[in-house]
Amino acid sequence: MKNMSLRSCNYIIRQIGTLCLVISTAALAGPPFKTDDPQPVDYLHWEFYVASMQQIDNNQTSATLPHFEINYGVVPDVQLHLVAPLGYVHEADATHYGYSDMEFGIKYRFVEETETTPQVGIFPLVELPSGDENKQLGAGKIQAYIPVWIQKSWGNWTTYGGGGFWYNLVPNQKNWIFTGWELQYDFSKVVTLGGELCYQTANALDSEASESFNLGGFINFDEANHLLFSLGHSLSGKVTITGYIGYQLTL
């Protein structure tokens, strides 16, 4: 048992090292976390991201290298959302790289935050099968997510979370639920750090429910330029390491 524990620790250390290498050489959810918030982009303002998400488990390393995200405040309290990703998948016997599934969404905040009540919004997303499913760069079928998110701030503290239902048409997979909650603290106008806990039900016939955590934050170089990052690990289910690194431009 002791040798097995040592091997498990060594494996996790190697995987974290691999992920850090991916992040350092690469110059989805609410970036940089899986959990999202109900706050849309301000009216007539833009958010642009160039980022990479990574996932490593026993059998596969996958990533977006990179993905491009655009958010626009089309009307007050409503945001349009688009993600265009380039995907990377590496297994023992094959490596694939190419265009992956696109994501469209509309975030609508229908309750404004006050001193005593949180803000509340919905953010339905649609994943379009634009990637090659034979190379594992896409699902091959439309998927949709319908979540509700809430958020409240007190001084330098902000917390948000919620969840929703994934509608999944992919063969041998099934509909599933994702929920998460995040807490963050503004140490200054430059640095914000936080963490989240997530839970999802099984999304395939041969999978199981899982829990995970992520730690990360933001570095604000100025009002327009930001660096986002996170690193996480599974708490149950398949042993999985995840990461996010990205640049955000706000206009």
Q: Which two tokens stand for residue 88?
A: 């990377």
Indicate the average pLDDT of the chain.
89
Q: Dump pLDDT digits (tens) for 21-38.
A: 333 333 356 899 999 999
Residue 26 is inside which H or E element, if any? Answer: none
CA distances from 79 to 238, 245, 250 (A): 34, 23, 14
Domain around 87: 2-250
Residue 120's CATH number: 2.40.160.40
- Per cent of the chain over pLDDT 70 is 88
Q: Dump pLDDT digits (tens) for 139-198.
A: 999 999 999 999 999 999 999 999 999 999 888 889 999 999 999 999 999 999 999 999
Residue with tokens 């807490």: 183
Residue 47 is inside which H or E element, if any? Answer: strand 46-56
**Domain count across the chain:** 1
Q: What is the dihedral of CA 230, 204, 164, 239, to 10 degrees?
A: -30
Contacts of residue 165, defined as CB under 8 A and 6 or more positions apart, other chains included, come to 145, 146, 147, 175, 176, 177
Give DSSP secondary structure letters for 69-106: EEEEEEETTEEEEEEEEEEEEE-SS-EEEEE--EEEEE
| pTM, full prediction | 0.85
